[in-house]
Amino acid sequence: MRSFLRLRALVNSPVNIGITLACLALLAWMVPPLLHWAVLDAAWSGGPEACRAAAGACWPYVGQKYGFFLFGFYPSEARWRPLLALLLMLALLAGNLVPRFWNRRLLIAWPIILALVVWILGGGLGLPPVPTESWSGLPLTLLIASFALVLGFPLGVLLALGRTSKLPFFRMVCTVFIELQRGLPLVAVLFMASVMMPLLVPAGVTPGKLLRAYLAFTLVAAAFIAEIIRGGLQAVAPGQAEAATALGLGYWRTMQRIVLPQCLRVSVPSLVGVAISFFKDTSLVTVIGLTDLLGAVGAASRDPVWLGHDVEGYVFAALVYFTFCFSASRYAAWLERRLQDGARIARAAAVEQAYASRLAIRSEASTA
Amino acid sequence: MRLAALLIMLALGLVPTLSHAASTLDTVKARGVLRCGTENDTPGSGAPDSNGVLQGIDIEYCRAIAAAVFGDASKVTFIHTSTLNRFSVLQSGDVDVLIRETTLLFSRDTQIGLIFANTIMYDAQGALVAAKTGAKSLADLDGASICVFPGSNSELNIADYFQSHGLKYTPISIDNADALRRSFFEGRCDVFTGDRLMLSSNRSIAKTPTDYVVLPDLLAKSPLGPMVRQGDDQWLNIVKWVVNVTFLAEEKKITKANVDSARTSTDPEVKRMLGGTPGMSKQLGLNDDWAYQVIKQIGNYAEIYDRTLGDGSSLKLPRGLNKLWSDGGLLYSPPFL
């Protein structure tokens, strides 16, 4: 009933009727060809010949290649390893989403699980080693994004504190760093890390390509996170820090106990936004020769036997990206509501407590 | 002027060859695996097959070098390089050899501290048109619209061609290989120009490939070959002779299948090549049987071409210039003596 009433908004004024008709026309124009391509004229079984005969999409291609889309050039006989790594990372992410788990243990779980993932992918200590050059597909995408965010977060907090610091030296260094990283396109930073760095350091000590990509992503992520945290810091009333100082708390304890918790509450939705955008930005690593999810989908379409089905592959990639990003944004919206509720409950509790203590004081006074 | 340029390069650390004191061969042997810079997105040169394993002529030559150095073609790591970073990964020592369908150009051979070994594939810029136009040559296509990759040599060459023939054309530049192909097949342009290998692979996926023809015009030469760093002649020789040996083996009709019996051949050159004269490859730093290993594990040029580009592949590209000199092509190995 409520949704029916909402539908009325589509036709309740001439302008709205016009917009509705325009949208319907657009759909009528777009949907039938799409339906023909994706369903009616598509090939659902058979090999490359069947696909060439069909006018529409070639879904057997996706059926044949989805393993490669997801895990890329990782040795196909050992695909259980990237699969396990992927599941571990997804479990970690899922655990991260539940506010009940937000405690010290989660902070410890991150580095442990990431180290475990690196071991599972890279081998050594019992597993046959696989060079980082072969790591590809979705695990690589997630690994780069999570490394960038996990290392970028503490760095970003420090940078934000530095930029708001009263000490001119720290303030200047942090400001220059943040503005430099934010002012450069991510792709340029990646190129610096991937192309220039090996030329500048002596041969032999050059860190691997993947490590260089981590480094570039981490630095840029830190700069973006720093600006969000700085915004959060400014949202915390200055009275809070002043009160803490008046109580005799030092700078670090004030930040740790009073300012940062309030600041993070404000910043969480924007931080999720950064996480989503970095998840998508990882596809830039193809330009430095790493094969992430999108790179693997692109490479798969170049198999001479299956040439010409790049669109189907990109549809698959789009679905994966959409699943991740849409769930992340729904989660951020839910979290935002919850944190607002949380803040309201906390305020209500504080008022109640103040009222109770006033009553207590009054009753003490009356008994005295 | 050159001195100034060199000083600037030095100051920027852009002459990395200077910092590689140890020979490439020693580095490769100590590492136990060859690092080969390749591509993973070019059908026929380097692209994953249905099992996700890289296949292509460039990949085969990486494996051939590994077979020569280690006697084991599987001891190679393929480093995917992009068109933008391919030279810097070689300069920095991140890869030992770059085999990435790179066209030999004067500037690339002389100005960036790198050097080409011999050519493994003579490609050429050509033109693909619809058969129904009835064109026999590009010169028949005055006023045509032409699909071309922007910023490429192809774009400049096609402009030169039309200008020098006093003809008009409309360029349609699209910076995406798939979109370019689609525009051509949908009829947005009359001509699709680029390297013939690329054109043939595009033609092979048309609804009816016979509706399209690659015109006989050759707009520009495009010799593709492996690159190494300048200043390490031993390593350059290894790469050069691995390629030569595949030519020579085809000339002597030695294949993967008959190489074992060829070792006892009466032809002294075959015997020498397959390791019959101990110590002959000592200066090269390789075992006596390195050429035998290359042919045993990879095969001769005809076999390599057939399974990556020719009739054994789905590209079915004719050999064209990539025939032996004795068959009217350009492949020619100096004597193994």
* Per-residue pLDDT reduced to its tens digit, A37-91: 888 888 888 888 888 888 888 898 888 888 889 988 888 888 889 899 999 988 8
Query: CA-nearest residue of chain B to A291?
Result: B80
Instruction: Yes or no: say if B226 and B121 are a contact pair by the CB < 8 Å rule.
Output: no
Q: Strands of chain B (E only): list them.
A: 34-38, 47-48, 54-55, 76-80, 97-98, 114-116, 121-130, 144-148, 169-173, 191-195, 212-214, 220-224, 227-229
Q: How far is CA B167 from CA A193, A306, B158, B194, in A?
A: 46, 38, 11, 19
What type of residue sits at position B302?
A: A
Q: How far apart are CA A23 and CA A108, in angstroms?
A: 50
State the Rg of chain B over Cα.
21
CB contact under 8 A, A304 and B80: no
pLDDT of residue B295: 95
Q: Which of A63, A51, A79 is nearest to A135 (CA)?
A: A79
What is the distance in angstroms between the Cα of B180 and the nearest Cα belonging to chain A? 12
pLDDT of residue A350: 66
CB contact under 8 A, A199 and B78: no
Q: How far apart are CA B125 and CA B198, in angstroms?
A: 9
Q: Is A64 on the interface with B (CB under 8 A)?
A: yes
Instruction: Yes or no: say if A197 and B87 are a contact pair by the CB < 8 Å rule.
Output: no
Q: How far apart are CA B21 and CA A264, in angstroms?
A: 52
Q: How many CA atoms lie within 13 A of B156 on its CB side?
A: 4
* Chain centroid, CA B292 distance in Å: 22
Report the residue from A133, A194, A310 with minimal CB separation from B178: A310
Q: Is A248 on the interface with B (CB under 8 A)?
A: no
Instruction: Yes or no: say if A78 and A329 are a contact pair by the CB < 8 Å rule.
Output: no
CB contact under 8 A, B84 and A287: yes
For residue A221, how many other CB atoms are within 10 A of its CB? 27
Q: Which of B50, B321, B107 is nearest to A76 (CA)?
A: B50
List average pLDDT for each run of 10 residues in chain A, which is 368 residues long.
72 88 93 89 84 85 88 86 90 82 80 88 82 86 88 92 90 92 88 77 69 89 93 89 88 87 85 88 85 88 84 92 89 82 70 68 62
CB contact under 8 A, B50 and A65: yes
pLDDT of residue B5: 45
Instruction: Yes or no: say if B68 and B291 are a contact pair by the CB < 8 Å rule.
Output: yes
First CA to last CA across chain A, in angstroms? Answer: 62
Query: CA-nearest residue of chain A to B93?
Result: A203
Task: Extract the tokens encoding A270.
Answer: 């924007």
Burial class (CB in 10 A: 0-12, 13-18, 19+), A248: exposed
Report the residue from A191, A286, A289 with minimal CB separation from B79: A289
Per-residue pLDDT tens digits for B131-181: 888 888 888 888 889 998 876 778 888 888 889 989 999 999 887 778 888
The answer for A 146-175 residues in CB contact with B (under 8 A) is: none
More confident: B1 or B319:
B319
- Residue of B59, B88, B199 to mutate for A, most A C-beta atoms under 10 A: B88
- Residue of A305, A312, A314, A315 to mutate for B, most B C-beta atoms under 10 A: A305
pLDDT of residue A110: 83
pLDDT of residue A357: 67
Q: Which of A87, B117, A71, A272 is nearest to B108 (CA)?
A: B117
Q: Which of B63, B72, B49, B53 is nearest to B120 (CA)?
A: B63
pLDDT above 90 for B37: yes
Give the highest mean pLDDT range of A333-342, A355-364, B84-93, B281-290.
B281-290
Enumerate the H helices of chain A as residue ranges: 2-7, 14-35, 48-53, 59-71, 80-97, 104-122, 138-163, 168-183, 186-191, 197-200, 209-235, 238-246, 251-253, 260-281, 293-300, 310-367
- Residue of A79, A195, A290 to mutate for B, most B C-beta atoms under 10 A: A195
Torsion angles phi and psi, residue B114, rounded to 5: -120, 165
List CB contacts (< 8 A) between B20 and chain A. Answer: 203
Q: Which residues of B49-72 are buried (b: 16+ CB within 10 A; e: fewer)?
A: ebebebbbbbbbbbbbbbbbbbbe
Q: Which residues of B107-122 are buried (b: 16+ CB within 10 A; e: fewer)?
A: eeeeebbbbbbbbbbb
List CB contacts (< 8 A) between A68 and chain B. Answer: 48, 52
More confident: A163 or B85:
A163
* Chain centroid, CA B206 distance in Å: 25
Q: ipTM of the assembly?
A: 0.75
The answer for A 121-150 residues in CB contact with B (under 8 A) is: 131, 133-134
Q: Which of B255, B182, B68, B85 is nearest to A199 (CA)?
A: B85
Report the residue from B20, B43, B92 with minimal CB separation from A307: B43
What is the distance in angstroms between the Cα of B110 and the nearest Cα belonging to chain A? 19
pLDDT of residue B9: 46
Show Cβ contacts of residue B64 under 8 Å, excluding neighbours closer than 6 positions. Answer: B73, B242, B243, B246, B294, B297, B298, B304
Size of interface A-B (CB pairs under 8 A): 116
Instruction: Yes or no: say if B99 and B37 are a contact pair by the CB < 8 Å rule.
Output: yes
Instruction: Yes or no: say if A43 and A54 are a contact pair by the CB < 8 Å rule.
Output: yes
List CB contacts (< 8 A) between A202 and chain B. Answer: 19
What is the distance in angstroms between the Cα of A337 and the nearest Cα belonging to chain B? 43
Report the residue from A195, A305, A308 with minimal CB separation from B85: A195
Q: How far apart are CA A35 and CA A56, in angstroms?
A: 9
List CB contacts (< 8 A) between B207 and chain A. Answer: 52
List CB contacts (< 8 A) between B55 and chain A. Answer: 304
List CB contacts (< 8 A) between B54 and chain A. Answer: 73
List CB contacts (< 8 A) between A133 and chain B. Answer: 77-80
For residue B265, how many other CB atoms are within 10 A of its CB? 17
Q: How far apart are CA A17 and CA A22, in angstroms?
A: 9
Q: How far apart are CA B215 and CA B233, in angstroms?
A: 40
pLDDT above 60 for B18: no
List CB contacts (< 8 A) between A191 and chain B. Answer: 84-85
pLDDT above 60 for B204: yes
> What is the secondary structure of A196-234 as a DSSP string?
IHHHHSPTT-PPPHHHHHHHHHHHHHHHHHHHHHHHHHH
Q: Is B291 helix (H, G, I), strand (E, B) or coil?
A: helix
pLDDT above 70 for B289: yes
Domains in chain A: ranges and CATH = 2-40 (no CATH), 65-351 (1.10.3720.10)
List CB contacts (< 8 A) between A200 and chain B. Answer: 13
Element holding B268 (H helix, E strand)? helix B268-273
In the CATH hierarchy, which fold is given to the domain comprising B123-222? Answer: D-Maltodextrin-Binding Protein; domain 2 (3.40.190)
- Residue of A49, A69, A307, A309 to mutate for B, most B C-beta atoms under 10 A: A307
First CA to last CA across chain B, in angstroms? Answer: 43
Q: Please state the length of chain B.
A: 337
Q: How far apart are CA A215 and CA A194, in angstroms?
A: 10
Q: How far apart are CA A80 and CA B178, in angstroms?
A: 32
More confident: A341 or B266:
B266
The answer for A 86-105 residues in CB contact with B (under 8 A) is: none
* Chain centroid, CA A159 distance in Å: 20
Q: Which of B100, B179, B102 is nearest to B147 (CA)?
A: B179
List CB contacts (< 8 A) between A194 and chain B. Answer: 85
List CB contacts (< 8 A) between A306 and chain B. Answer: 50
Q: How far apart are CA B234 and CA B240, in angstroms?
A: 10
Torsion angles phi and psi, residue B224, rounded to 5: -105, 135
CB contact under 8 A, B41 and A299: yes
Q: Is A299 on the interface with B (CB under 8 A)?
A: yes
Domain with CATH 3.40.190.10 in chain B: 2-120+225-327, 123-222
Per-residue pLDDT tens digits for B233-264: 999 999 999 999 999 999 999 999 999 999 88
For residue A39, give the DSSP letter: I
Domain B2-120+225-327 -> CATH class: alpha beta
